[in-house]
């Protein structure tokens, strides 16, 4: 039986994909059979995929390359959109709305192939995934797939508010957060060190890793990281 975890962020462009790639890479470096999944990804470019022209799921391609998965990108992301907007709007513009049963089917397929599956979210936890045929929020996917979470946040100015609000909402809605990863972290920078302490104090959650600009490795032991995953 596979184990899995969800990676969400305090918003767009905090580095979820970058951090997710480092997470999967860390697991695979120790010999664990680790894979990647994302329900929907927007803002993709066209290219050749599996011998055919189509949209390349950029986030999956990045994680696949950095982590050395060498998997089938079409199996990692069921919904791939060209427009660089929220998935609910992209799906409306492109006529391909997200369906929870499809997401769940793809997820189960990935879980059959990998022992550890890291699921990346789209935008922040309140990101709308579909708002036409059916109203689906990102948290619906988290709950449907029964996932605990890791929260990725920028280490800089404003992150205390962003982390506390996100963590409070997730706890209120019954979503469990295992820990926080701070991205763009500068060691010994007074404000960022204080941000780390305040975030832990105000949320009661541990900062499990800090990622410095340009890091190619995650500063957490693989065993500790793997222990965050749940079947």
pLDDT digit string, tens, across residues 21-71: 999 999 999 999 999 999 999 999 999 988 889 999 999 999 999 999 999
Distance, in Å, from the CA atom of 4 to the CA atom of 84, rounded to the nearest integer, reads: 27
Residue among 80, 55, 69, 76 nearest 23 (CA): 69
Distance, in Å, from the CA atom of 146 to the CA atom of 19, rounded to the nearest integer, reads: 21
The one catalytic residue in 16, 26, 38, 178 is 38
Q: How many CA atoms are closer than 13 Å to the CA of 82, on its beta-carbon side?
A: 8
Domains belonging to the chain, first-starting first, are 3-226 (3.40.50.300)
Q: Which is more confidently placed, 49 or 3?
A: 3
Residue-wise pLDDT for 192-212, tens only, equals 999 999 999 999 999 999 999
- DSSP-based three-state secondary structure for 31: coil
Report the chain's C-alpha Rg in angstroms.
17
Residue-wise pLDDT for 77-117, tens only, equals 999 999 999 999 999 999 999 999 999 999 999 999 999 99
Beta carbons within 8 Å of 194's beta carbon, 6+ residues apart:
none
Q: How far is CA 111 from the centre of its chain?
A: 16
Is residue 38 part of the annotated active site? The answer reads: yes
Percent of residues in the chain assigned helix, strand, coil, to nearest 5:
40, 25, 35
> What pLDDT is stored for residue 230 in this prediction?
97
Beta carbons within 8 Å of 195's beta carbon, 6+ residues apart:
155, 156, 159, 160, 182
Do residues 205 and 199 make contact, with C-beta atoms less than 8 angstroms apart?
A: yes
Q: How far apart are the first and last CA of the chain?
A: 7
> What pLDDT is stored for residue 131 in this prediction?
96
**CA distances from residue 163 to 77, 110, 190 in whole angstroms, order as listed:** 27, 30, 18
> What pLDDT is stored for residue 51 in this prediction?
85
Beta carbons within 8 Å of 157's beta carbon, 6+ residues apart:
191
Which residues on neighbouring strands pair with residue 53, listed in sequence order? Answer: 48
């Amino acid at each position: 039986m596979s184990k899995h975890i969800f990676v969400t962020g305090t918003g767009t462009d905090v580095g979820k994909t970058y951090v997710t790639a480092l997470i999967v890479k860390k697991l695979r470096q120790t010999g664990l059979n680790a894979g990647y999944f994302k329900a929907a990804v927007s803002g993709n470019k066209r290219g050749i995929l599996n011998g055919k022209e189509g949209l390349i799921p950029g986030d999956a391609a990045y994680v696949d390359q950095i982590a050395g998965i060498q998997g089938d990108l079409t199996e990692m992301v069921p919904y791939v959109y060209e427009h660089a907007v929220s998935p609910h709007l992209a799906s409306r513009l492109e006529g391909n709305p997200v369906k929870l049963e499809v997401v769940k089917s793809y997820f189960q397929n990935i879980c059959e192939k990998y022992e550890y599956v890291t699921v990346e979210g789209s935008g922040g936890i309140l990101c709308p995934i579909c708002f036409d045929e059916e109203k689906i929020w990102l948290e619906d996917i988290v709950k449907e797939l029964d996932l605990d979470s890791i929260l990725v946040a920028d280490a800089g100015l404003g992150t205390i508010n962003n982390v506390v609000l996100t963590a409070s909402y997730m706890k209120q809605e019954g979503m469990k957060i295992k820990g926080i990863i701070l991205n763009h972290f500068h060691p010994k920078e007074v404000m960022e060190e204080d941000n780390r302490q305040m975030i832990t104090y105000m949320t009661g959650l541990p900062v499990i890793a800090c990622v410095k600009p340009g890091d190619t490795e995650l500063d957490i032991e693989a065993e500790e990281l793997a222990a965050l995953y749940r079947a």
